[in-house]
Amino acid sequence: MIIGGLLALAPVFGPLATTLHYLDDFFAERPQPMRVPDTSFFAELLALILCPFGLLIFAISLVLFIRSGRRTASLPHDLHTLIPGHVSLFLVRPSAWNDTLVNTSATCWAAILAVCFLSFGCERQVAQKEVPPFRIVATDAGFEAPDKLAAGLRHIVFENRGSGIHEGMLVKLPKGMSADDYVVAVKKGSLFPEGALDYSGPGLTSPGVTAGMWLRVDPGQYIIICWNKDHDKTTQVHSFTVEETGAADDRPPKEDVVVKLFDYRFELDRPLHKGVQVVRVETPGPTMHEVDIFRLHEGSTVEDLKRWRKEHEDGPSPAEALGGALDSHDIKRVVWLRKEFVPGRYVLHCEMPVTNTKLTHADVGMVREIAIKE
């Protein structure tokens, strides 16, 4: 009975929520945001498989224990004179039998407590490896952010404290290239300095707005750069290092909407609604894309926004920039955004350059207006 109870309760003492979430993603054939599962995942999975058998063993043992107790209590005290000695050991010497039960129960409960403490210790060790969100503060002079970040799926929080619109592209530098080398290449007119890889990042964000996203980073040297207007040449970049520390992935919330970036259109698997929404962004492409989210001001139109962006934000803003997901050289990468939507008119906008032209993807139709109602 004790063993059955132990098997039934074992999943409670492991990372149950993480394991169930991972299995949900697997069966739904969604992209897996976590890396190869660690030992705690497989231990928890085994506990889940054995749990029903534990419940069955516990139930059967409990029934047999109750029935055996009733039979023993109903037998005459002098029945030992009528039955073999080895049977009377169990039926007529209750004190010895009880001592055996007590000793067995003590051993089993000691084993239960040991397993519980070990499970708690493993879960605590995993929790200690979790990292806080990587906070980026954009100003008109540059970026404020930590100098190190753990590799894996990370929660990025981007806050614009500047006077104009900013974004935060994460770029992984190749070996032998410094941040200064990258900036020199950009000032010479290169949009994609050779060997450097775009790793996405928070998109265009208006002053006073905070945007959150989840993206994966690999070990290496990185910079954060703003490509809005001429900021790539006038605003200081921020260097940081991504290290493999064994930290657990920052799991994004389950998505409410999936946005797919095609050539040259946006597709949503369901409508956006009022309130906080988690948006998973995928890029079937086949070329690189980005998505910036704008909320139009009253009386403004999509054409007003397109013209304002082409004129490098000259004049009053027709919309508020709410952040988004910048491009990635690896278009198979998935990122997640979390936004709060109030009733109004919104625009999805891609400003990636069209190869060998002065046009952007927005110029060739990659713009979509969305209305969110009460």
Block residue for tokens 């089993």: 108
Q: Is 158 exposed, middle or buried (0-12, 13-18, 19+ CB in 10 A)?
A: buried
**What local confidence, expressed as pLDDT, does residue 22 receive?**
57
Q: How many CB atoms lie within 10 A of CB 213?
A: 26
Q: Is 96 exposed, middle or buried (0-12, 13-18, 19+ CB in 10 A)?
A: exposed
For the segment 82-93, what is each residue's pLDDT rounded down to a tens digit? 444 444 433 444
Task: Identify which of 227, 284, 231, 241 has the alpha carbon closest to the alpha carbon of residue 259.
Answer: 284
Per-position DSSP letters for 270-321, written without gaps between them: S---SEEEEEEEEEEESS---EEEEEEPTT--HHHHHHHHHTTS-SS-SEEE
Task: Identify which of 39, 5, 6, 8 has the alpha carbon closest to the alpha carbon of residue 18.
Answer: 39
**What local confidence, expressed as pLDDT, does residue 342 receive?**
97
Question: Residue 132 pLDDT more than 60?
Answer: yes
Per-position DSSP letters for 101-150, written without gaps between them: HHHHHHHHHHHHHHHHHHHHHHHHHHHHT----EEEEE-SS-EE--SEEE
Structural domains in the chain? 2-128 (no CATH), 134-372 (2.60.40.420)
Half-sphere exposure of 43 (CA within 13 A, CB side): 15
Question: Residue 329 pLDDT more than 60?
Answer: yes
Confidence of residue 6 (pLDDT cuts 50, 70, 90): low
Question: What average pLDDT does the segment 45-50 reach?
Answer: 72
State how far the Cα of 283 lies from the Cα of 285, in Å rounded to an integer: 5
Task: Identify which of 198, 123, 202, 197 has the alpha carbon closest to the alpha carbon of residue 155.
Answer: 202
**What local confidence, expressed as pLDDT, does residue 99 receive?**
52
**What local confidence, expressed as pLDDT, does residue 1 receive?**
55
pTM: 0.71
Block residue for tokens 């409990």: 62
Question: Residue 162 pLDDT more than 80?
Answer: yes
**What local confidence, expressed as pLDDT, does residue 92 receive?**
42
Q: For 57-66, 122-131, 255-264, 320-329, which range has the lowest pLDDT when averaged over its residues?
A: 122-131
